[in-house]
Amino acid sequence: MSAMVQAAEPSWLVARRAAAKDRFAALGLPTSKDEAWRFTNLRVLASPPAGGAARLTLNAPALPEGVRFASISAMLRDAPERLEALLALPEGADALSALNLAMFSDGYVLEVAPGVRLDEPLEVFQDNQGGAVHTRGLVLLGEGASVTLVEHATGTGWTNSVTHVALGGGARLRHAKRQAQAAESVHLSAMTLTLGEGADHESVILALGAGVSREAVTAVLAGEGATVSLRGAYLLGGKQEASFVPEVLHLARHCSSRQLVKGVLGGEAHGVFLGHIGVPEGADGTDASQTNRNILLSAGARVDTRPRLEILADDVKCSHGATVGDLDETALFYLQSRGLPPHQARRMLIEAFAAEIVDEADLAEPQRDALQRALSSWAEALA
């Protein structure tokens, strides 16, 4: 059973883990004084469980030349030099990202050579078996490459997921994520993206499970004409809490960005939206929008929503808005007057409200259908 024996890690990794651990110690965990965390239930951060195990499965069609899609553990064995070049703590990394590098057990690398376009999606299944699991994702698309990546986060425990994405000029990434962890679990996710000239990214993230979850996506539009669309939905009941923290930095000219996050909350659930658009001086021709819409199904549910714009450039088109409301009583009556029982009528309206996130996503039919089914079953539970 030699596979059971953990091979010693290369010395470069041991050193980087130690440096990351130091950095984590220096930074300390976020507190309620950190703007990006002030609405989040921080008790879950204070006490991550010790140890943990996860089942990581990568699912891919037959891969053409120029595509690498492998677990980090496999790369440590097969291509450690390449991994050494990729696996680093970026400047300005926050405490959880540092903790992640210090502690990560596994993750995946997706590298696509310039010009390679894949139609079939690549899938990552991350099933937390309990305890604290730190997992990493690395996605690098060469110029003009195109791929769809679908993530499924399930299981129990305390998950800290960190993903770095770099898109070369004209590269196109479609990213869909379904977070459906068990009710008592914690799911913290931070994704950072850098987009080159004319690169095009879309994320569709469904936060359905977990007791406390957080989806932070930071997109840096570094090349002219890059476009990013960050779509998300949280459907929460009981005492669930979900935060969406989308951030877009328009560093280059003529880039466009869309943020659209919708939430439906019942029970005593808590939703948080902290959106940010940054347009520094000189980023002319920027077109950005940011929208957060919420429906509260019960008196105990609540939302903290804070759309934020920082615009220093002159020639900019920007819009933002946030709404919090109830299910439309008139629409409910209309549906019921046609014989639909109250539960079915509510479900139909919840689903219709949230479905926009998925319906208008730029995904192929099977991926969109799968996300719709996931939304549907959570809408059913909430209604």
Partner 1 sequence: MTKLLEVEDLHARIAGGRDILKGISLSVGAGEVHAIMGPNGAGKSTLSSVLAAKPGYEVTAGRILYDGADIAEMPADERARKGVFLAFQYPVEIPGVNNTYFLRASVNAMRRERGEPELDAAQFLKLVKKKMSLLDIKDDLLKRAVNVGFSGGEKKRNEIFQMAMLEPKLAILDETDSGLDIDALRAVSEGVNKLRDPGRAIVMITHYQRLLDYIEPDFVHVLAGGRIVASGDKSFARELEKTGYAHLERAA
Neighbours of 16 (CB within 10 A): 18
Q: Which stretch binds partner 1 (CB under 8 A): 25-33, 147-155, 184-192, 326-334?
A: 326-334
Q: Is 337 in the site for partner 1 (CB under 8 A)?
A: yes
Q: Is 247 in the site for partner 1 (CB under 8 A)?
A: no
Q: Rounded to an integer, what distance in angstroms lies between the CA atom of residue 215 and that of residue 235?
A: 14
The CB-of-347 to partner 1 minimum distance in angstroms stands at 10
Q: Which stretch binds partner 1 (CB under 8 A): 11-19, 87-95, 316-324, 353-361?
A: 353-361
Q: Which tokens hold the place of 50?
A: 């010790």
Q: Is 365 in the site for partner 1 (CB under 8 A)?
A: no
The CB-of-321 to partner 1 minimum distance in angstroms stands at 16
Q: Is 380 in the site for partner 1 (CB under 8 A)?
A: no
Q: Rounded to an integer, what distance in angstroms lies between the CA atom of residue 369 and that of residue 360?
A: 12
Q: Is 371 in the site for partner 1 (CB under 8 A)?
A: no
Q: Is 331 in the site for partner 1 (CB under 8 A)?
A: yes
Q: Which stretch binds partner 1 (CB under 8 A): 136-144, 205-213, 342-350, 372-380?
A: 342-350
**Of 162 and 206, which has the nearer Cβ to partner 1?**
206
The CB-of-357 to partner 1 minimum distance in angstroms stands at 11
H helix and E strand count, the chain: 8, 17
**Of 312 and 331, which has the nearer Cβ to partner 1?**
331
For 223, list phi and psi in degrees, rounded to 5.
-115, 150
Neighbours of 359 (CB within 10 A): 13
Q: Which stretch binds partner 1 (CB under 8 A): 76-84, 126-134, 166-174, 323-331?
A: 323-331
The CB-of-266 to partner 1 minimum distance in angstroms stands at 18
The CB-of-365 to partner 1 minimum distance in angstroms stands at 16
**Of 105 and 344, which has the nearer Cβ to partner 1?**
344
For 86, counting Cβ atoms within 10 Å of its Cβ (0-12 exposed, 13-18 middle, 19+ buried), the class is middle
Determine which residue in the list 349, 361, 363, 374 makes contact with partner 1, applying CB under 8 A.
349
The CB-of-359 to partner 1 minimum distance in angstroms stands at 8
Could you tell me which of 208, 176, 202, 205 has the C-alpha nearest to residue 367? 176
Q: Which stretch binds partner 1 (CB under 8 A): 58-66, 217-225, 266-274, 336-344?
A: 336-344
Determine which residue in the list 105, 336, 376, 377 makes contact with partner 1, applying CB under 8 A.
336
**Which runs of E-coded beta strand occur in 146-226?**
146-155, 158-167, 172-179, 186-195, 200-207, 212-221
Q: Do 273 and 244 form a contact (C-beta atoms < 8 A)?
A: yes
Question: How many of the chain's residues bind partner 1 (CB under 8 A)?
Answer: 24
Q: Is 309 in the site for partner 1 (CB under 8 A)?
A: no
Determine which residue in the list 7, 15, 25, 352 makes contact with partner 1, applying CB under 8 A.
352
- Return the SS3 of 224: coil
Q: Is 235 in the site for partner 1 (CB under 8 A)?
A: no
To the nearest 10 degrees (0 to 180), the angle between helices 95-103 and 11-27 is 150
Q: Is 338 in the site for partner 1 (CB under 8 A)?
A: yes
The CB-of-334 to partner 1 minimum distance in angstroms stands at 4
For 80, counting Cβ atoms within 10 Å of its Cβ (0-12 exposed, 13-18 middle, 19+ buried), the class is middle
Determine which residue in the list 345, 361, 371, 379 makes contact with partner 1, applying CB under 8 A.
345
CA distances (Å), 325 to each of 206, 254, 271, 304, 351, in order? 20, 34, 13, 13, 15
Q: Is 353 in the site for partner 1 (CB under 8 A)?
A: yes
Q: Is 329 in the site for partner 1 (CB under 8 A)?
A: yes
Q: For strand 158-167 and strand 122-141, is the pairing parallel, antiparallel, or unpaired? A: parallel
Neighbours of 336 (CB within 10 A): 14
Q: Rounded to an integer, what distance in angstroms lies between the CA atom of residue 383 and that of residue 373?
A: 15
Residues in contact with partner 1 by CB under 8 A are: 328-331, 333-342, 344-345, 348-349, 351-353, 355-356, 359
